[in-house]
Amino acid sequence: MSTAILVLEDGRTFRGESYGAAGTTVGEAVFSTGMTGYQETLTDPSYHRQVVVMTAPHIGNTGVNGEDDESRRIWVAGFVVRDPARRPANWRATGTLDDELVEHGVVGISGVDTRALTRHLRDRGAMRVGISTELAADELLQRVQAAPSMTGADLAPEVTTPEPYTVPAVGERRYTIAALDLGIKAATPRHLAELGVETRVLPATATAAELLDAGPDGVFLSNGPGDPAASDYAVEAVRGVLDARRPLFGICFGNQILGRALGLGTYKLPFGHRGLNQPVLDRVTDSVRVTSQNHGFAVDAPLDRAVDTPYGRVEVSHVGLNDQVVEGLRCLDVPAFSVQFHPEAAAGPHDAAPLFQRFVDLMEDNRAEA
């Protein structure tokens, strides 16, 4: 097995063995605390242009299969593991993770002290990184330091669907919604379909008029990669939906876009939240949910009071219990709400799944008032 090196933009270097494709890759170094769900992580468009460090030591045990992909391809820029499985041991496996990374051209590294790497990122913050099987450390460092930052990156148009498509409801169709694909995961319309919702998925640059025409009952804002401060087109579309008083539900990147549409700011977190074990306080039900998260930016809003916006009062509905980060918004005067985490939980806990029903209830209430 060939050797590989990992170099962070501050010069910290780790050496290991090649895992996946040979070559060189550069991206933003982030870490994920999930012990399972690596296939869903790899295929989550929200990880576009990021090199993911898995904190769990053993990765690849369950192989890969044709059912758990969350999109049409692997999106991570690179993959870092400590101890890769020698062979998968799961009845659903149809191949190995190593072979899957090779097939998709994803450069990775194994044998790395991922605890030390994670502690470094927690202390210094997420930063640019490179992995290579062919370059010397000093040459790789130059390439890393020349790479673009995630701050200011507009990435949703790079991962969105090129053409609209429809995911039909399971059984009777009760509602029809439009989903703004900022990097949507396959599990989201699947969950909605089970509640009788037909989802018409539109590209990230769809206008408010296109969303309102496609989704007569409601509009959904998906997760996605990049800096929300760079997505003015999505903010403008959401403002049009709010002006129309159409029920709206956003998750992850969609939460940040809703926040911006309401006039709130966003900012980059030191190292973000990524994994399947993030505790969140739901202030609406006064309960704690363990959630699946993947975000490096957050909404800037006061936790102790509702704020006045051009669309009425808005309050923080969810709070992260690890660091008091805003994890959800609830509009009190228009039919809209959002959360920073992933209620579709692919992979992850299902504590937040009832939020899809809350969206359905909001559409039903709006229909009754019409």
Active site residue 344: yes
Active site residue 252: yes
Three-class secondary structure of residue 2 per DSSP: coil
Which class for 258: exposed (0-12), middle (13-18), buried (19 or more C-beta within 10 A)?
buried
Contacts for 41 with CB less than 8 Å, ≥ 6 apart: 32, 34, 47, 52, 76, 294, 347
Active site residue 318: no
Query: Among residues 48, 191, 318, 342, which one is catalytic?
Result: 342
CA–CA separation, 233 vs 237, rounded Å? 6
Over the Cα atoms of the chain, what is R_g?
A: 20
Contact predicate 60/96, CB 8 Å: yes
Chain centre to alpha carbon of residue 241: 22
Question: CA angle, 203 as apex, 200 and 207 as ends, to 5°?
Answer: 90
Contact predicate 164/184, CB 8 Å: no
Query: Among residues 252, 273, 315, 318, which one is catalytic?
Result: 252
Residues marked as catalytic: 252, 342, 344
